[in-house]
Structure 1
Amino acid sequence: MKISSKDILNFLKTKREISLLFIVSKPQVTSHTIFLLIYATMEKAFASCLLTHLLLHYAMASSAMTHTNITTDQLALLSLKSQIISDPFHFLDESWSPAISVCHWVGVTCGSRHQRVKSLNLSNLALMGSIPRDFGNLTFLATLDLGSNNFHGNLPQEMARLHRLKFLDISFNNFIGEVPSWFGFLHELQVLNLGYNSFTGSIPSSFSNISTLETLNLRSNFIEGQIPKVIGSLINLRELNLRGNKLIGSIPLSLLNASRLESLDISFNSLEGNIPERIGNLHNLNELGIQFNKLTGSIPLSIFNISKIEVIAFTGNSLSGILPNGLCNHLQILKELYLHKNNFHGHMPTSLSNCSELQLLDLSVNDFDGPIHSGIGRLSNLQKLSLKYNHFTGIIPISIFNISSLQYLILRRNNVSGYLPREIDNLTKMQMLDLSENMFIGEIPKEISNLIELEGIDLAYNSFSGSLAMEIFNISGLRKISLSFNNLSGTIPSNIGSVLPNIEELYLMGLTYLVGTIPHSISNCSKLTILELSYNQLRKT
Structure 2
Amino acid sequence: ENKREVLASWNNSSPLCSWTGVTCGHKQERVISLDVGGFKLAGAISPSIGNLSFLRSLNLADNSFGSTIPQEVGMLFRLQYLNMSFNLLQGRVPRSLSNCSRLSTLDLSSNGLEHSVPSELGSLSKLSILYLNSNNLTGKFPASFGNLTSLLKLDFAYNHIEGEIPEDVARLTQMVFFQISQNSFSGVFPPALHNISSLESLSLGGNSFSGELRADFGDHLPNLRTLLLGSNHFTGAIPRTLANMTTLGRFDISSNNLTGSIPLSFGNLPNLRWLGIGVNSLGTNSFRDLEFIGALTNCTRLEFLDAGYNRLRGELPASTANLSTKLTSLTLGENLISGTIPHDIGNLISLQALSLETNMLTGELPVSFGKLLEMQVLDLYSNAISGELPSYFDNMTQLQKIHLNSNSFQGRIPRSLGRCRNLLDLWIDTNRLNGTIPQEILQIPSLAYLDLSNNLLTGPFPEEVGKLELLVGLGASNNRLSGQIPQTLGDCLSVEFLYLQGNSFDGAIPDISRLVSLANVDFSSNNLSGRIPLYLANLPLLRNLNLSMNNFEGRVPTKGVFRNATSVYVFGNKNLCGGIREMQLKPCIVHATPRPRKPLSLRKKIASGVGIGLALLLLFIIVAALCWFKKRRNKKKNNATGSNPSDSTTLGMFYEK
The TM-score with structure 1 as length reference comes to 0.79
Q: For residue 181 of structure 1, give the secondary structure of its aligned residue in structure 2.
A: coil
Q: CA separation in 2, counterparts of 1:162 and 1:355?
A: 48
How far did 1:91 drift?
A: 4.9
Question: Residue 541 of structure 2 is aligned with which of 502, 515, 527?
Answer: 502
| 1:214-233 map, 5 Å | 214-233=249-268
Q: CA separation in 2, counterparts of 1:122 and 1:208?
A: 28
Q: CA separation in 2, counterparts of 1:313 and 1:363?
A: 11
How far did 1:161 drift?
A: 1.2
Q: CA separation in 2, counterparts of 1:127 and 1:157?
A: 19
Asked if 1:267 is matched to 2:291, the reply is no
Contact 1:157 1:182 in 2 (8 A): no
Quick one: structure 1 residues 530 and 119, their matched pair in 2 at CA, closer, same or farther if it must change by over 3 Å? same
Q: Deviations over 1:11-69 (max 9, x none)?
A: xxxxxxxxxxxxxxxxxxxxxxxxxxxxxxxxxxxxxxxxxxxxxxxxxxxxxxxxxxx
Q: Deviations over 1:344-382 (max 9, x none)?
A: 111111112211111111111011101111111111111
Alignment-derived partner of residue 529 in structure 2: 489
Q: CA separation in 2, counterparts of 1:421 and 1:90?
A: 57
| 1:440-455 map, 5 Å | 440-455=481-496
Q: CA separation in 2, counterparts of 1:161 and 1:279?
A: 38
How far did 1:523 drift?
A: 5.5
Aligned letter for 1:475?
L
Alignment-derived partner of residue 30 in structure 2: none
Asked if 1:324 is matched to 2:366, the reply is yes
Question: Residue 206 of structure 1 is aligned with which of 226, 235, 241?
Answer: 241
Alignment-derived partner of residue 245 in structure 1: 280
Asked if 1:122 is matched to 2:156, the reply is yes
Q: Deviations over 1:251-288 (max 9, x none)?
A: 22212211211000000011111222122222111000
Alignment-derived partner of residue 567 in structure 2: 530
Q: Deviations over 1:457-499 (max 9, x none)?
A: 1000000011122x1243100011110011111222334332x
Q: Deviations over 1:191-221 (max 9, x none)?
A: 1010000000100011011000011101110
Contact 2:149 2:172 in 1 (8 A): no
Alignment-derived partner of residue 68 in structure 1: none
Alignment-derived partner of residue 359 in structure 1: 400
| Percent identity over paired residues | 31
Alignment-derived partner of residue 426 in structure 2: 385
Asked if 1:539 is matched to 2:572, the reply is no
Alignment-derived partner of residue 306 in structure 1: 348
Contact 1:152 1:175 in 2 (8 A): yes
How far did 1:233 drift?
A: 0.4
Instruction: Compute the RMSD of aligned alpha carbons.
Output: 2.2
How far did 1:89 drift?
A: 5.4
Alignment-derived partner of residue 40 in structure 1: none
Quick one: structure 1 residues 352 and 363, their matched pair in 2 at CA, closer, same or farther if it must change by over 3 Å? same
Q: For residue 117 of structure 1, give the secondary structure of its aligned residue in structure 2.
A: coil
Alignment-derived partner of residue 559 in structure 2: 521
How far did 1:302 drift?
A: 2.3
Quick one: structure 1 residues 525 and 383, their matched pair in 2 at CA, closer, same or farther if it must change by over 3 Å? farther
Quick one: structure 1 residues 523 and 408, their matched pair in 2 at CA, closer, same or farther if it must change by over 3 Å? closer
Question: Residue 330 of structure 2 is aligned with which of 285, 288, 306?
Answer: 288
How far did 1:138 drift?
A: 0.9
Q: CA separation in 1, counterparts of 2:189 and 2:247?
A: 22
Contact 1:495 1:519 in 2 (8 A): no
How far did 1:518 drift?
A: 2.1
Q: CA separation in 2, counterparts of 1:353 and 1:372?
A: 13
Alignment-derived partner of residue 37 in structure 1: none
Contact 2:453 2:476 in 1 (8 A): yes
How far did 1:340 drift?
A: 1.1
Contact 1:372 1:397 in 2 (8 A): yes
Contact 1:466 1:487 in 2 (8 A): yes
Larger Rg: 2
How far did 1:425 drift?
A: 1.1
How far did 1:393 drift?
A: 0.3
Contact 2:175 2:199 in 1 (8 A): yes
Quick one: structure 1 residues 123 and 358, their matched pair in 2 at CA, closer, same or farther if it must change by over 3 Å? same
More off after superposition, 181-190 vs 438-447:
181-190
How far did 1:93 drift?
A: 3.9
How far did 1:133 drift?
A: 1.7
Question: Residue 463 of structure 2 is aligned with which of 419, 422, 425?
Answer: 422
Contact 1:503 1:525 in 2 (8 A): no
Q: CA separation in 1, counterparts of 2:120 and 2:544?
A: 53
Contact 1:96 1:106 in 2 (8 A): no
Aligned letter for 2:328?
N
How far did 1:502 drift?
A: 0.5
Contact 2:128 2:150 in 1 (8 A): no
How far did 1:156 drift?
A: 3.0
Quick one: structure 1 residues 447 and 523, their matched pair in 2 at CA, closer, same or farther if it must change by over 3 Å? closer
Contact 1:180 1:204 in 2 (8 A): yes
How far did 1:304 drift?
A: 1.6
How far did 1:157 drift?
A: 2.3
Aligned letter for 1:181?
A
Contact 2:422 2:446 in 1 (8 A): yes
Q: For residue 399 of structure 1, give the secondary structure of its aligned residue in structure 2.
A: helix
Aligned letter for 2:530?
G
Quick one: structure 1 residues 519 and 174, their matched pair in 2 at CA, closer, same or farther if it must change by over 3 Å? same
How far did 1:397 drift?
A: 1.0
Q: For residue 321 of structure 1, give the secondary structure of its aligned residue in structure 2.
A: coil
Quick one: structure 1 residues 271 and 391, their matched pair in 2 at CA, closer, same or farther if it must change by over 3 Å? same
Q: For residue 464 of structure 2, give the secondary structure of its aligned residue in structure 1.
A: helix
Aligned letter for 1:294?
L
Structure 1: unaligned runs, 5 residues or longer: 1-73, 75-87
Quick one: structure 1 residues 472 and 305, their matched pair in 2 at CA, closer, same or farther if it must change by over 3 Å? same
Larger RCO (CA within 8 A; separation ≥ 6): 1
Aligned letter for 1:444?
I
Q: CA separation in 2, counterparts of 1:104 and 1:233?
A: 34
Structure 2: unaligned runs, 5 residues or longer: 1-97, 99-111, 134-147, 580-657
Quick one: structure 1 residues 163 and 99, their matched pair in 2 at CA, closer, same or farther if it must change by over 3 Å? closer
